[in-house]
Amino acid sequence: MTRPPALSDIRDAQRNIRDGVVHTPCTPTRTLRDSVPGSLHLKFENLQRTGSFKDRGSLNRLLQLDDEERARGVVTASAGNHAQALAYHGGRLGIPVTVVMPETAPLIKVANTRGYGATVSQSGTILDEAAVEARRLAQERGLVMVPAFNDFHVIAGQGTVGLEIIEQVPDVDVVVVPVGGGGLISGIAVALKELRPSVRVVGVEAASAASAWASREAGKVVQISHVDTLADGIATKTVGDLTFPLMERYVDDLVVVSEEEIAAAVLVMLERKKTVVEGAGAVPIAALAAGRVPVADGEQVVAVLSGGNIDINMISRIIDRGLVFSGRLARLMVKVSDRPGSLARLTRVVAELGGNVLEIYHRRAFADISVGDVEIVMHIETRGRSHVEEIIAHLEGMGLLVEEDV
């Protein structure tokens, strides 16, 4: 396809890939009822065959290959989700797949990609650097390059998410979508705006990888200097030159979220929805929880959970970070007299206030205190931010000097 995808192309893609992808559920939830005055629906793309929406675009692109191209095989650069989708569907169709992944790609995504039968190499620290090596291999070996997002057939495949949203929530008002290179939101936005021009499409980026926001500000595609985010699936230095014009035409707004907000959103989905969502997939929830997406009373909102391929080694760290951000884990430094009974009194008061002491230790030599005092460092579990403030206020009311490490 040499032109941007139209609604008819997305409908063709839907027919092409119907038997190879999951028609994922889009169900109402009360998870963020305090933050979203309207009705929130979750589009569970993390339930795709390889755990992300990438199944759609990858399969649609593979189905465009002729017999000679299939025999030669394809190559791509991916941080993990596109790699897994291309490897899985390439294996089903008998097409050799070579994948270049960043050296920082989550281990589980590397292992899964190899497990689906792809030849995997790692190069560079971010996706953009891996793409340079993938293009070199394509030229050297005569492989067909299948970009992760900057391809019109891929964009059309991702747009099938938008068709399903309209089918599942016909009166949708707002759709919130993660943004990395722009393939997902471009396809969804084309489908939605062509069918329902009144629908607002909002893209969400990690603040430390906000290449789409920077490009919109500049009015052209720009490359940011650095990306570092737990949302590895959207960690790109630049959006695509094919996706950017579509985003400018169809996407109403772009917002950004912090690492702490992303971690808290992952935790919310684990706790309240019993759903594993990776950092990239959680950014719509983070934006809604932070109030970055205006929603009027009664509006129908859909948040696209783009993927669930999270590194199991990262989950505990993300959970801890989310707990700290929400105030459910806190570290307090309390100065007390260095006398017998001071520690017992302190922990008793915290317990009486409903706090749970997880870890505790003394600091004498390295604390900024008088020789007659000791600094008690406590890691405590609480009900949330207001509970932490209540504990601190009570301790200060007892004449103790309290600092919170935030």
Strand-pair category, 39-44 with 74-77: unpaired
Looking at the fold, whether 252 and 389 belong to one and the same domain comes out as no
Query: For the chain, percent helix, then strand, then coil, each to nearest 5?
Result: 45, 20, 35
Positions marked catalytic: 54, 306
pLDDT at 404: 87
Return the top range by mean pLDDT from 218-232, 244-258, 270-284, 310-324: 244-258
Evaluate whether residue 119 is within a structural domain. yes
Strand-pair category, 300-305 with 174-178: parallel
Evaluate whether residue 350 is within a structural domain. yes
Out of 323, 342, 363, pick the residue that ends a domain.
323
Looking at the fold, whether 179 and 311 belong to one and the same domain comes out as yes
- Tokens read off for 364: 């004498």
What angle, rounded to 10 degrees, do the helices at 279-289 and 259-273 form?
90
Which residues span the domain enclosing 345? 327-404
- Tokens read off for 181: 């290179």
Give the number of domains in the chain. 3
Looking at the fold, whether 255 and 179 belong to one and the same domain comes out as yes
Residue 372 has pLDDT above 80, yes or no: no
Evaluate whether residue 134 is within a structural domain. yes
Evaluate whether residue 96 is within a structural domain. yes
Looking at the fold, whether 247 and 270 belong to one and the same domain comes out as yes
The residue among 169 and 80 whose pLDDT is bigger is: 169
pLDDT tens digits for 210-253?
A: 999 999 999 999 999 888 888 888 988 899 999 999 999 999 99
How distant, in Å, are the alpha carbons of 14, 220, 228, 285 from that of 216?
Answer: 30, 7, 20, 22
Looking at the fold, whether 297 and 221 belong to one and the same domain comes out as yes
Residue 35 has pLDDT above 60, yes or no: yes
Contact 181, 244 (CB under 8 A): no
pLDDT at 73: 97
Out of 323, 343, 371, pick the residue that ends a domain.
323
pLDDT at 379: 92
Looking at the fold, whether 158 and 231 belong to one and the same domain comes out as yes
pLDDT tens digits for 93-131?
A: 999 999 999 888 778 788 889 999 999 999 988 777 888
Contact 333, 403 (CB under 8 A): yes
Looking at the fold, whether 254 and 385 belong to one and the same domain comes out as no
Mean pLDDT rounded to a whole number for the chain: 92
Looking at the fold, whether 294 and 185 belong to one and the same domain comes out as yes
Mean pLDDT across 359-384 = 78
pLDDT tens digits for 172-196?
A: 999 999 999 999 999 999 999 999 9
Looking at the fold, whether 163 and 295 belong to one and the same domain comes out as yes
Confidence of residue 277 (pLDDT cuts 50, 70, 90): very high
Out of 102, 118, 145, pick the residue that ends a domain.
145
CATH number at residue 129: 3.40.50.1100
Percent of the chain with pLDDT over 90: 69
Rounded CA separation 396/384 (Å): 19
Looking at the fold, whether 123 and 183 belong to one and the same domain comes out as no
Evaluate whether residue 291 is within a structural domain. yes
pLDDT tens digits for 327-371?
A: 888 899 898 887 888 888 898 999 999 999 999 887 765 556 566
Mean pLDDT across 9-36 = 93
